[in-house]
Amino acid sequence: MSVPAILENLVGKWRGINRLHTTWIPDNPVRETNSTAVVELTARGRFLKIEYDWTFEEAAQEGLILVGDEKDSDSIKSFWIDSWHLSDKFMVSEGIRKKNGAVSMKGFYTVPEHPDWGWRTVIKPERENSFKIIMYNVTPEGEETLAVEMEFTRQ
């Protein structure tokens, strides 16, 4: 594994906004909180580690995304944990590099007595000093709904 070159540029400390789209709560469909992120290379530079924090109903939350690509393919893989979204579980996702420098990965999670649901994560470098992490909930039929938007600016 290695890190796509464009993602290496994200190494550093970041501040931003986390928007949680709670479509199941009609009177408060978007919850916006402050967020920070630290992006580092790890495992001798083979993976990019994004550690972030955010808040849900005044409770601190945190997450971690590890990203790498395989040398002989365009495949991107990630490992994701988040104290609120996944609780005590983790998700492995696979995807591709896009021409605009973004990576898009999709994993799956179990819903009792239903087919598995998908979760698509996009890490998108913006200008030189900003990037986004955008997450979509994906129904078993393939319909995507925006779930999380994180926008970061370099500290």
**What Cα–Cα distance (Å) separates residue 143 from each residue in 1, 22, 63?**
31, 16, 25
Band of pLDDT at residue 1, cut at 50, 70 and 90: low
- Tens digit of pLDDT for each residue in 102-152? 999 999 999 899 999 999 999 999 988 999 999 999 999 999 999 999 999
Q: Are strands 59-69 and 103-109 parallel, antiparallel or unpaired?
A: unpaired
pTM score of the predicted model: 0.92
Distance CA 94, CA 119 (A): 11
Report which of residues 22 and 73 the model is more confident about: 22
User: pLDDT at position 86, please?
Assistant: 85
Domain, as residue range, for 76: 5-154
Total domains in the chain come to 1
CATH of the domain at 53: 2.40.128.20
